[in-house]
Amino acid sequence: MYLIMLGAQGTGKGTVAGLLSKSTGWPQISTGDIFRANISEKTELGNKANEYISKGQLVPDEITVPMVIDRLAQDDCKNGAILDGFPRTVEQAKKLDEILSQKGKKVDMVINLTTPRDEIIERILNRRVCSNPQCKATYNLTMHPSKVEGICDNCGAKLVQREDDSDENAIKQRLAIYDEKTSPLIDFYTNKGVLITEEVSERINRLGKDVAEDVLKRIK
């Protein structure tokens, strides 16, 4: 089964995808994680991607799509995968349909997460992530802090703030790009009959774990 996490940055896509991956065994494929790994290793792909990410812009398809194709071709994806951060445009969604169709597969469910915009900005500014690439646990200074300040509960590695999470103007730019480029995917997948929308917000006391539990009930 192939799932897509859809929603603006800071809505909890990574959290929900991680919980679903742990329960189903399907790999969580995050283009953001792959970009960051390449950036830290200063690969050619990473350098090119960083030119866009540092400005709050989308990485072009000619960089992103081949990377996703390669990842989906790996053995652990043959029974399913959870895509987190791809597709971001209708063009990418159509390309993904082509990739899966060649394997006799399709997108089975798209989980669209929504969160009030002011909450999103606060969440991103307070987000901290584990520096251990094998762990990737995510925390929030106000909503979900680590037990020991600055230290990951899971592996003991240092928690860091992503460079693109520290600039409020860059965050607002990313959200504006989402509204322009990515939100049309809602119509695209609604027309295919595979989209479900879930709100994640402190205001209604509904967090990512609650959404993950509901999704698991749907796919079992």
Tell me whether residue 128 is one of the annotated catalytic residues: no
Tell me whether residue 158 is one of the annotated catalytic residues: no
Tell me whether residue 218 is one of the annotated catalytic residues: no
CA torsion angle for 34, 133, 38, 149 (degrees, to 10)?
A: 110
Residues in the chain: 220
Count of CA atoms in the C-beta half-sphere (13 A) of 79? 6
DSSP letter for 58, please: P
**Active-site annotation holder among 36, 88, 123, 128:** 88
**Active-site annotation holder among 95, 123, 128, 174:** 174
**Active-site annotation holder among 36, 123, 127, 128:** 127
3-state secondary structure at position 31: helix
Tell me whether residue 174 is one of the annotated catalytic residues: yes
Rounded to whole angstroms, the Cα distance separating 150 from 203 reads 27
**Active-site annotation holder among 94, 162, 192, 209:** 162
**Active-site annotation holder among 13, 36, 71, 105:** 13
Tell me whether residue 162 is one of the annotated catalytic residues: yes
CA torsion angle for 98, 104, 108, 114 (degrees, to 10)?
A: -30
Give me the active site residues, please.
Answer: 13, 88, 127, 162, 174
